[in-house]
Amino acid sequence: MRLYKWICYLLALFNLADAFLTYRLLKHGGEELNPVMRLLFDFHPFAFIAVKILFSFLVLLLSFLPLRSKIKFFVYIAFFVYLLIMGWHIYILLVLSMQ
């Protein structure tokens, strides 16, 4: 149970970090690969950030709810995906810092 809570906390943190790192990259000519989030950003950058913050709060809320193992499995999958996304952000930031 404890591991699941930590995974939720880290997932929420990764989601917030992704929001602000993506926002920064988009402002400097980057491209959002998620079509839904791209639409939100094009509508208004604040909508993009607000939805990402809302998702983070929802993930934090999940950490306090007793969930079935199937739902927990999807949280673990989302955590793994966000690990990859954070790795991508780090790679992009390193490449940009070398230019």
CA distance 75 to 93: 26
- With a cut of 70, say whether residue 1 has pLDDT above it: no
Span 23-61, pLDDT tens digits: 988 988 888 989 999 999 999 999 999 999 999 999 898
The whole-model pTM stands at 0.84
At 10, is the pLDDT very low, low, confident or very high (cuts 50, 70, 90)? very high
At 3, is the pLDDT very low, low, confident or very high (cuts 50, 70, 90)? confident
pLDDT of residue 46: 94
Span 56-75, pLDDT tens digits: 999 898 888 887 777 788 88
C-alpha torsion angle, residues 33, 36, 39, 43 (rounded to 10): -130
